[in-house]
Amino acid sequence: MSGEFNLYGLYVPWLLVQSLLALALSRGMSWVLARLGFYRLVWHPALFDAALFVLILGALVFLSSTGFY
């Protein structure tokens, strides 16, 4: 895996691309969980959202480093 992503001649760090994808996925999952009423069971929704983002980003980085992504 290279450390950069070429976007029409602009080199973007691969971690930034993965972070933006993880942000979109975590926001989508947060919206679904909010619609299901899951946040009534969560003590601190902001901390839960931050942990969800970190878990998704970690999974994306792991999957991309093993060549499975």
Distance, in Å, from the CA atom of 20 to the CA atom of 59, rounded to the nearest integer, reads: 14
Using an 8 Å Cβ cutoff, are 60 and 22 in contact?
Answer: yes
Give the separation between CA 26 and CA 41, rounded to whole angstroms.
18
pLDDT of residue 65: 82
Q: Please, what is the average pLDDT of the chain?
A: 90
- What mean pLDDT comes out for the span 50-60? 96
Task: Quick: pLDDT tens for 1-33.
Answer: 467 878 888 898 989 999 999 999 999 999 999
In sequence order, which residues have a C-beta less than 8 Å from that of residue 61 and are 6 or more positions away? Answer: 15, 18
Which tokens is 47 given?
A: 């901390």
Which segments of the chain does DSSP mark as H helices, in order?
14-36, 45-65
pTM of this structure: 0.84
Specify the number of domains making up the chain.
Answer: 1
Mean pLDDT computed over 41-49? 95
Quote the domain boundaries for residue 55: 4-65
